[in-house]
């Protein structure tokens, strides 16, 4: 605190001096005080005298000042070199009390000025008179030391900034925080579409993997301009050769099915992906001088990029890919190719069996406990797991009826409705705009999930959070059903940061022969937004039914931790 006051006092004194002196170069004044200490304490006294007296500097004094300025410049350069080392030392001294620091500072500064031999002497010299002249010199010395320290810190900061600026920063937004945090976190590419650097990097990577780049389509609403938006009428296969040689045909077929929506839904996509991987592994032959465990993983990378271009990967697909890559890398090098391939295929079958089929059975078993006779259950969209639960409950002769809530443009609820009615369950069908009208009748809400995030948020089809909110307002319990393989280590609190934009032309509908939105691109102030996912906060979710049991939403990180420990 006292240092600050002294700084102000010095500054005030300097200003006065400036006004009086004809020398307008303020640097001289600053360097004047800071280059005091290399010359020794006697100069301090001179300049102090001048300042206190307010007299004009004589010619000799001006020359002396100029010399001191030159020396100061040299000292500064040497200080810059040793600034990173000094910054540590300076930081430590800065934390402790300033008074005791005052004497410690000049020795370090003297050392950094590149004169190590006389350093101990001035130390002794400064230390010797310091207790004697403490009241008189402490002010000036402190001021000089402080100034030197400030300059050293400034120099060290500049050098640090230089280092950070030289890095090819993946995101501009992260540059300022990186100075504060030691760890620079990389944002994934698919949510930085408005950053041209990131796009260039992506284009280079795809070019290297020989995969065509899919171009964005249409005007994007500004809030979501950081996400990709593709058109279904421009498939990626347009730019591929027809007997696809770079990408395995199974992957091309899968990518087409994803982009056209033929395979939709988290479980279906994962199963189809693993099926395609099985075909790839079957058709794979290890090239000479390569190891299966490393080469196969490298072969999978362009395929995954291709699938990502067709449709952004889901969390469940990401987890499945991680599992496969781990299994492939864990194959011992002595293993023969045929053996390894059959082992991998068994692993895939095992994974699907455990994580999807058996998990569905386990979840159905838990969920049926929660369904009692006379229940009115509300479901949203078409979740394969929720449909499975309801069908199983119906088989076990529970008496309940279902209300299916649907929303445009996907209208997936119709498919759910068909599957339930085919089994014989009595259903009601409403659109999401009627949810608050129908909720007084509802006793429970069952929701499916696309992924469960590490902070307990549920990522699901857009509209789910709305239903959860309204259900909460009506005090209706909301149960989310989700397998553990969909648990994701990501954290998200809003639906903007990471989402998926579907084809905006899906919103165009023809009624009575008229298509009002046909030329929406020509209207400059109109944007069509077709969101796919949204996140529901854990306050609205009462229970999550997983294959490990029924857990509250906030226990998701525990499950993740346990899973990681197991693996």
Partner 1 sequence: MEFQAVLMAAGGGSRMTDLTYNTPKAMLPVGNKPLMWYPLNLLERVGFEEVIVITTKEVQKMMSADPKIKQDVKMKLEVVCIQEDGDMGTADALRHIQPKIKTDILVVSCDLITDAALHEVVDLFRAHNATLAMLMSKAHEFTETVPGQKGKKKTAEQRDFVGVDESGKRLLFMANEADLEEGLSIRKSILRKHPRVHIKTGLVDAHLYCLKKSVVDFLTDNKSISSIRGELVPYLVRKQFSKTINGQKTKDDVEDQNQKKSDSKLHISSRDEPLLQLAQERSCWNDHRGDMSEAYHGGKLRCYVHIMDQGLCYRVNTLAAYIEANRLAPKLFEEPVVHPSAVTSERCQIGSDSIIGASCQVAEKTSIKRSTIGNSTTVKEKVKVTNSIIMHGVTIEEGCNIQGSVICSNAIIGRGADLKYCLVGNGQRIESIAVFQLKECVSVFVLN
Q: Which residues bind partner 1 (CB under 8 A)?
A: 235, 237-238, 240-245, 249, 252-253, 256-257, 260-265, 267-268, 271-272, 274-275, 278-279, 282, 352, 356-357, 381-382, 384, 412, 414-416, 418, 421-422
Number of neighbours of residue 314 by Cβ within 10 angstroms:
23
User: Least CB distance from residue 260 to partner 1, whole Å?
Assistant: 6
Helix (H, G, I), strand (E, B) or coil at 545: strand
Question: Would you say 218 or 261 has its CB closer to partner 1?
Answer: 261
Candidates 267, 268, 262, 242; CA nearest to 310 is 262
User: Least CB distance from residue 422 to partner 1, whole Å?
Assistant: 5
Question: Would you say 105 or 267 has its CB closer to partner 1?
Answer: 267
Interatomic CA distance for residues 32 and 10, integer angstroms: 12
Question: Would you say 198 or 352 has its CB closer to partner 1?
Answer: 352
Number of neighbours of residue 135 by Cβ within 10 angstroms:
7
Helices 315-329 + 292-310 axis angle, to 10: 170
Candidates 93, 118, 123, 121; CA nearest to 106 is 123
User: Least CB distance from residue 276 to partner 1, whole Å?
Assistant: 10
User: Least CB distance from residue 272 to partner 1, whole Å?
Assistant: 4
User: Least CB distance from residue 492 to partner 1, whole Å?
Assistant: 24
Candidates 201, 236, 187; CA nearest to 216 is 236
The structure tokens listed for 469 are: 């909110």
CA distances from 550 to 95, 395, 516, 522, 565 (A): 51, 22, 48, 51, 20
In the block, residue with structure tokens 């890559």: 325
Candidates 103, 146, 145, 153; CA nearest to 128 is 103
User: Least CB distance from residue 252 to partner 1, whole Å?
Assistant: 6
Question: Would you say 182 or 243 has its CB closer to partner 1?
Answer: 243
The structure tokens listed for 148 are: 């030197």
- Cis ω before 409 (30° cut-off from 0): yes
Question: Would you say 104 or 234 has its CB closer to partner 1?
Answer: 234
Do 448 and 265 form a contact (C-beta atoms < 8 A)? no
Interatomic CA distance for residues 403 and 447, integer angstroms: 12
User: Least CB distance from residue 278 to partner 1, whole Å?
Assistant: 6
Question: Would you say 286 or 384 has its CB closer to partner 1?
Answer: 384
User: Least CB distance from residue 307 to partner 1, whole Å?
Assistant: 14
Question: Would you say 35 or 276 has its CB closer to partner 1?
Answer: 276
Question: Would you say 48 or 412 has its CB closer to partner 1?
Answer: 412
């Amino acid at each position: 605190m006292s240092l600050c006051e002294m700084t102000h006092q010095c500054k005030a004194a300097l200003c006065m001096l400036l006004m009086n002196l004809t020398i307008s170069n303020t640097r001289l004044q600053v360097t004047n005080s800071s280059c005091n200490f290399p010359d020794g304490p006697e100069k301090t006294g001179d300049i102090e005298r001048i300042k206190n007296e307010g007299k004009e500097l004589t010619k000799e004094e001006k020359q002396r000042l100029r010399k001191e300025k030159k020396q100061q410049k040299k000292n500064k350069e040497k200080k810059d070199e040793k600034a990173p080392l000094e910054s540590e030392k300076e930081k430590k001294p800065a934390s402790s009390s300033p008074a005791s620091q005052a004497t410690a500072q000049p020795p370090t500064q003297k050392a950094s000025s590149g004169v190590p031999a006389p350093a101990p002497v001035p130390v002794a010299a400064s230390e010797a008179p310091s207790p004697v002249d403490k009241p008189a010199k402490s002010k000036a010395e402190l001021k000089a030391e402080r100034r030197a320290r400030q300059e050293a810190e400034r120099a060290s900061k500049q050098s640090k900034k230089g280092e950070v600026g030289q890095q090819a920063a993946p995101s501009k937004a992260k540059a300022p925080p990186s100075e504060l945090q030691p760890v620079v976190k990389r944002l994934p590419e698919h949510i930085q579409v408005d950053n041209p650097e990131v796009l260039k990097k992506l284009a280079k990577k795809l070019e290297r993997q020989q995969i065509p780049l899919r171009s964005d389509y249409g005007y994007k609403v500004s809030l979501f301009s950081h996400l990709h938006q593709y058109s279904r009428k421009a498939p990626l296969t347009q730019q591929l050769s027809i007997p696809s040689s770079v990408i395995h045909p199974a992957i091309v077929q899968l990518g087409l099915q994803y982009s056209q929506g033929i395979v939709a839904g988290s479980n279906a996509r994962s199963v189809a992906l693993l099926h395609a991987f099985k075909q790839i592994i079957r058709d794979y032959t290890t090239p000479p001088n390569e190891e299966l465990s490393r080469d196969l993983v490298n072969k999978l990378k362009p395929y995954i990029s291709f699938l990502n271009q067709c449709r952004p990967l889901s969390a469940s697909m990401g987890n499945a890919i991680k599992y496969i890559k781990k299994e492939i890398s864990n194959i011992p090098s002595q293993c023969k190719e045929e053996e390894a391939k059959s082992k991998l295929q068994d692993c895939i079958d095992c994974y699907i069996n455990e994580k999807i089929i058996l998990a569905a059975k386990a979840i159905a078993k838990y969920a049926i406990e929660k369904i009692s006779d006379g229940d009115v259950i509300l479901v949203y969209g078409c979740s394969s797991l929720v449909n499975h639960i309801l069908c199983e409950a119906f088989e076990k002769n529970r008496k309940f009826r279902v209300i299916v809530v649907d929303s445009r443009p996907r209208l997936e609820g119709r498919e759910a409705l068909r599957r339930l009615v085919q089994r014989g369950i009595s259903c009601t069908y409403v659109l999401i705009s009627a949810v608050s009208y129908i909720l007084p009748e509802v006793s429970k809400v069952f929701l499916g999930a696309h992924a469960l995030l590490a902070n307990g948020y549920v990522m699901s089809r857009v509209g789910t959070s709305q239903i959860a909110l309204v259900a909460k307002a009506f005090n209706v319990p909301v149960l989310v059903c989700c397998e553990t393989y969909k648990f994701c280590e990501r954290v998200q609190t809003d639906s903007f940061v990471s989402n998926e934009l579907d084809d905006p032309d899906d919103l165009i509908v023809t009624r009575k022969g008229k298509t009002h939105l046909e030329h929406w691109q020509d209207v400059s102030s109109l944007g069509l937004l077709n969101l796919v996912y949204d996140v529901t906060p854990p306050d609205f979710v009462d229970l999550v039914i997983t294959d490990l049991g029924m857990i509250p939403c906030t226990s998701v990180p525990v499950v993740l931790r346990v899973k990681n420990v197991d693996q």
